[in-house]
């Protein structure tokens, strides 16, 4: 078994309202910053042992499907690196 860190990034699908991002953008603009758009995402770094990188990615994908992401409103991607 090898130790991996699987990084799952969960973001709202395009078109789904993101009130947190809107509020953050407005606050930045009130502070005088100029920006065109802002999107927020949640990121989970999971340390796990797996036979290989594919298995680590597959297990992290399952974690996303079952808990970390809501498939109705979220997209997610998984990146795996050896620890």
Q: Is 14 in the site for a second copy (CB under 8 A)?
A: no
x/- string (CB under 8 A) for a second copy, residues 30-49?
-x-xxxxxxxxxxxxxxxxx
Whether residue 2 contacts residue 55, with contact meaning beta carbons closer than 8 Å, is answered with no
Q: Is 28 in the site for a second copy (CB under 8 A)?
A: yes
- Name which of 52, 27, 24 is nearest 39 in CA terms: 24
- Name which of 77, 64, 78 is nearest 5 in CA terms: 78
Q: Is 63 in the site for a second copy (CB under 8 A)?
A: yes
Q: Is 57 in the site for a second copy (CB under 8 A)?
A: no
| Cα gap 43→47, rounded to integer Å | 13
Q: Is 73 in the site for a second copy (CB under 8 A)?
A: no
Whether residue 40 contacts residue 47, with contact meaning beta carbons closer than 8 Å, is answered with no
Could you list the residues that contact a second copy (CB under 8 A)?
Answer: 3, 9, 11, 21, 24, 27-28, 31, 33-49, 59, 62-63, 66-68
């Amino acid at each position: 078994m090898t130790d991996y860190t699987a990084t799952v990034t969960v973001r709202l699908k395009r078109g789904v309202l993101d009130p947190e991002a809107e509020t953050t953008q407005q606050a930045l603009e009130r502070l005088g910053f100029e920006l065109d758009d802002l999107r927020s995402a949640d990121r989970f770094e999971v340390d796990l042992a797996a036979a290989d990188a594919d298995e680590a990615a597959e297990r992290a994908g399952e974690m996303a499907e079952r808990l970390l992401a809501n498939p109705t409103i979220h997209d997610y991607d998984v990146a795996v690196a050896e620890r």
